[in-house]
Amino acid sequence: MTLYVCATPIGNLKDITLRALDILSSADIVLCEDTRTSKHLFSTHGIRYKRLVALHEHNENEISAKVIEWLEDGLTIVQISDAGTPGISDPGARLCNNIRRAGFNVSPLPGACAYISLLSVSGLSDNSLFHGFLPNTKTARSKILSQWADVSYAVCIYEAPHRIVACMTDIVECLGETREIIMGRELTKQFETIKKLPAGELLNFITSDSNQQRGEFVLIIAPQPKNIADELTTQQLNVLNLLAKELPPKKAIQLTHQIIGGNKDLMYTYLIQQK
């Protein structure tokens, strides 16, 4: 017998797989976080669930014992969370371990996940680390952020609206204002906003518009570029340096690109670093 761990949408309720709809309709018991959230999803898709049982971080062990009994009785059990993939900054890890330890299969029904969604459009997906939520206090948060000062991989974090400004402020302090950050706000929802900017500019963008402090956030910290100057040719650097003395950065980059080619993002970062 198998416990199914099933992803649900992170905003747009249509982001659910056919397989998820099938298994949720046929399950004997669906384990969920907030039953109201799950009922809303089920009514949207006309799923006539049989039984919902609340599973949260405080009752995972207790519910695991029941799930083992239900699986022994041959029932189909599915776990979902309020949004996205269970076990990803959500309850589920202890349940999976307990059920597998009891000798049952645990099988994923893949689907939406907030950080994977942003990573997929970040242009940085080659090499990344998922960290999830940072600690609440500035000291603890800064200690972790500082570890990523020189990393060669992208780091994905989750953030809540009431902490987004504090978190971005700490990113600027610990990683510098030129470090590229990709922000995904309200992904798949009406006010979806995706911005890829140097940390200092992103902080300004967020602080100057209170609407940008609302909703749900994924942040991806880009890898620390090795040495930008090494990634541009000497000719590109010469032309860029010459033009940047006379022209605004955007124009200098545009002309350099036209004359001799080269990556415009790298040129931009290079010019910022020269300031």
Which residue ranges make up the site for ligand SAM (CB under 6 A)? 10-11, 81, 83-85, 88-90, 113-115, 158-160, 184, 186-189, 216-218
Output the smallest distance, CB 94 to ligand SAM, in A: 15
Question: By C-beta, is 70 or 148 nearer to ligand SAM?
Answer: 148
Output the smallest distance, CB 5 to ligand SAM, in A: 11
Burial 33-44 (b: 16+ CB within 10 A, else e): beeeebeebbee
Output the smallest distance, CB 168 to ligand SAM, in A: 13
Q: Which of 209, 179, 211 is nearest to 192 (CA)?
A: 211
Question: By C-beta, is 132 or 261 nearer to ligand SAM?
Answer: 132
C-alpha pair distances (Å), 5 with each of 49, 74, 90, 110: 16, 17, 12, 8
Output the smallest distance, CB 20 to ligand SAM, in A: 13
Question: By C-beta, is 56 or 257 nearer to ligand SAM?
Answer: 56
C-alpha pair distances (Å), 143 with each of 148, 175, 193, 234: 10, 11, 28, 37
Output the smallest distance, CB 6 to ligand SAM, in A: 12
Tokens 């200690």 belong to 143
Going by the DSSP 8-state scheme, the letter that residue 221 receives in this structure is E
In angstroms, the CA 273 to CA 179 distance is 10
Output the smallest distance, CB 157 to ligand SAM, in A: 8
Question: By C-beta, is 184 or 262 nearer to ligand SAM?
Answer: 184
Who contacts 44 (Cβ-Cβ below 8 Å, separation ≥6)? 13
Question: By C-beta, is 136 or 238 nearer to ligand SAM?
Answer: 136
Question: By C-beta, is 111 or 225 nearer to ligand SAM?
Answer: 111
Q: Are 219 and 148 in contact (CB under 8 A)?
A: no
